[in-house]
Amino acid sequence: MDPAASRIREAMQAVSLLRASRAGQPLLEQACLEVKRFQAQRVKATYSDLLHNLRYKGAAGFFLHELYGEQDYAQRDQQFARIASTIARLFPQAVVETAAALAEVHALTEQLDDLMARQWLAAPTGSAHVRYIQCWRAVADRPARLRQVEVVLQLGRELNRLTSMRGLRSLLKMMRGPAAAAGLSSLQGFLESGFDAFGSMRGASEFLTLIKWRESDWIAILFDEDAVTCETKLLQLLASADVD
């Protein structure tokens, strides 16, 4: 099997095991949803300016929807897991690498969100931002958080690389029928929307640098600041972007 296809399969197996471990535990499922919802609010607030910037709003919205949204990705995950070996036969290698980067981002995010959700259940009742900080610090895996940022950046770099390939947008459009027939419609939609979002920026270097700086800053704040300062900064961020 192609190495990238193997990465996809391993990542989707990890996600499947996490979902299975939460099956039949509605309180844990709800906690996981609450963690994801707050995470999406934090990301939306952090990149509020980019979401309203003509150049960056497409890519910022794409990342928010595809990586940090609270929606159910189960259908996309099932497609990825089922056809990991098929991807390498249907799509160019650059596309396969992009799909592998997405799978790795998704698996690592799910793992961290699952750990956060288990802490969320154990955390004292309180406001969402206080519980979020408590859970973040209880999980306390700084290398994994830094790795999460790096794989997000890797995905961005792969998407940016796709936009430099002449004729790929036309090829993706031609692949809609075969992709649907092969059960790859979710991957197809992800690739097309990612291609369009990154292509409209005409270069993603500045965008990815902003993500690296801002996410690294928040990791430092959530790990290193005292509780009061951390809570204050998080509340100020949410208020500045008018996020509930």
244 vs 122, residue with greater confidence: 122
Q: CB-hemisphere CA count at 13 Å for 141?
A: 14
**pLDDT tens figures, 103-136:** 888 889 999 999 999 999 887 677 888 999 999 9
The pLDDT of residue 169 is above 70: yes
**pLDDT tens figures, 91-107:** 777 778 888 888 888 88
Residue that is written with structure tokens 């595809």 in the block: 66
Q: Give the pLDDT score at 13.
A: 85
- Decide if 57 contacts 20 (C-beta within 8 A): no
Report CA Rg, the chain. 18
Q: Give the pLDDT score at 244.
A: 47
pTM: 0.86
Q: CB-hemisphere CA count at 13 Å for 153?
A: 18
Compute the mean pLDDT over every residue in the chain, rounded to the nearest whole number: 85
Euclidean distance between CA atoms 119 and 137, whole angstroms:
10
Nearest to 156 by CA among 62, 238, 72, 231: 62
